[in-house]
Structure 1
């Protein structure tokens, strides 16, 4: 059963369309992350699900029930905001219980639910404190606890970790993963942080300019990007992208010829190219490039070496006039390569080829 369905959903502000004909189905108990750059429409989509923004077109269903026109309190959802949205004059217990008390639930039931949520989140010792007496991580736990006590059908998270420092974000990511495993609730989580998306999501929905570019597991969007946008957006460092043309050769898979380099073409590509003049873009992840022990496909003039402890990011440009900028990930400290020319190679299985005009992958 679908926990959440968006059918042909659009959002317009005047003449500006910020979400365009969105179709998405989230399974019951699934953790789905909406990922994209600022202004891509992901937070607006979440706010439409919550009922905080009206839908210009389309339908939203939660557990099979049409909630498109219902107010937020009637949708059986709970939302955790980026800025926590805690009442400063209430203590932790009062913040967590406010919605239940407002709904007229018996005091014994309210107290039991608050105590249970506080135990899950390890904030039992904070129940009498005010928000100003809490750290950022503690405030976020309280905001999550307030959502838990409502026992909603769907949890909504709007960049909940963006105000935390890097170390605390890592800790809270692990806590959120454990919490979802324990509660098994349908969850929609908005972020621009790839690490959050890759580590938390069952599936990732990648947005660009109000449209979905790809929906898939973390492995699928990383290993089989559907578009040039996804290829460039997913991965740290980003995928190396170079313009090429396909050159066919009898008895071989052919070549991908670029400015000052030639790469062996993947065997499946010949049947996917529609014209010898078709502009193509080949993508190779930095982790897939290897220093060549023999003939090299790419000759890289190394401009920068970033040593990260166990590996180095080697950044440079191809050794031709106006050569493309390339990043390769190599093991260990590679400072000895700085200001030298290094031969690189990659296997055809690691190559992604896109139609430059449409931006779509050519992989079968």
Structure 2
């Protein structure tokens, strides 16, 4: 069951300024925590009932809604195939409703990321004994019985020392108790156990902030982003530190102006341009031309791969499509050919600086790019951080 890994992804205590938006009151926070414990045990209906009570007590809070999304998504992982689509549609609806109330709700963000098909790389599969102890620890954690939770997390560690989430969650028990030193040690152990565990690095950053180590926290957040670049929580924390240091990050906010639907059966593509381009032509509108070139390149590459009896690799497809698109903006000083959208202008500057690969891995990441991303990081140590520090951009 993947429930445990998802709960570990979001179980850190929220910052005080977010707690009000998430829960509204301590009573609601307790009810949501109890529901998470029920979800960990697979008692989904009971969890949903508790969360419905929490919703009535705090109708404007996001936490009960995102927790409902979490419960429904978790239920979908064990459901019969006929029920999966319905459960996930409901989970998406609740997650979006949560973000309407508080757009910083980390659990709602993560549920939507996973529903979009962008799950993290293959989740670590702990031993059966470790997984069972971890679930029991989750139940105690959400009942705020930290000594009992620690005992279970340690049992999971002994059963499977490579299970990073067990080290992470023991650290979180200390974080709840404001024992920043113990939390920092265990979060660091989790990160060392699995360097691609973004929550381990993010939780480590939280502990280091409390310990007054701003530089260490920043380093940990860059590691969180290197692990999973499209997980928002790490970016949001890094943005706060960057702003405090006088070098803020700006969101790229890429709004895609074209899409390509490819039918693997007949090898045909259907191109769709954004409605904003209605009434314009590629010759009269540079942005129109850029997105049209992007879509045509995708369609042509997919068609060629289909004829060759294979599928185009997603990163290869994205990189080639952006190269073709941004070539349309080669104006040679002719401003009429330069894009109007600010995000396209920024991407043109990045392309001209020879940093297009870094931009795709950092600002448009998909788990489908994982193998190329890991190879790129190994060949270019520190390149992602240098890219961020040079262009001051986030997704």
Return the TM-score normalized by structure 2.
0.29
Q: Bigger radius of gyration, 1 or 2?
A: 1
* Higher share in strand: 1
